[in-house]
Structure 1
Amino acid sequence: METLEFELDDGHEYVELNQLLKLVGLCDSGGIGKQIVASGAVAVDGKVELRKTCKVRPGQLVSLDGVEVLVLTTAV
């Protein structure tokens, strides 16, 4: 399984799930990200997540089609 790391910008506490999929290149747009989430294909911390704009925070792990995305916070 491939693991990617995504760092939140300073001042941001979370990233919306559909936007995270777009930002790491797993889909082409936030709209497509919403469709992927709605289909039940995305898991957050091992549980299927259907909320398209779920707030993903540092330390959480998002999984989709054999790819894991670990959300990190930038070191100050």
Structure 2
Amino acid sequence: MKKTVFISTPYITLGQMLKEETIVGSGGQAKWYLREHTVMLNDEPENRRGKKLYDGDNVTIPDVGMFFIRTKQDD
């Protein structure tokens, strides 16, 4: 599954993105999830839930999907 995640702030943390996309239910679960599962940020392994994701970043979670971080454009 490929999905675009639109943000209205300069960045979103990895933990926030995992919660927003209902991969985890809380920040505590995000910490556990990142310890137990492979998460790739721009083709590099990432396990910090506080890692800031900016416009243009790509997060890949095997068996879950690819998430493209994009800034929400004002109309």
When normalised by structure 1's length, the TM-score is: 0.84
**Residue by residue, what CA displacement relative to the aligned partner does 1:42-71 show, whole Å, maximum 9, x if unpaired?**
110111002221001111011112311111
1:7 equivalent in alignment to 2:6: yes
Displaced runs of 4 or more, over 4 A: none
How far is 1:5 from its partner? Answer: 1.1
Q: Which runs of 5+ in 1 are unaligned?
A: none
Q: TM-score, normalised by structure 2?
A: 0.85
* CA shift for structure 1 position 39: 3.0
Q: Distance in 2 between matches of 1:63 and 1:75?
A: 23
Aligned length: 73
The RMSD of aligned alpha carbons is: 1.3
Q: Which residue of 2 aligns with 1:53?
A: 50
Give 2:70's aligned residue: 72
Gaps of 5+ in 2: none
Identity fraction in percent: 22
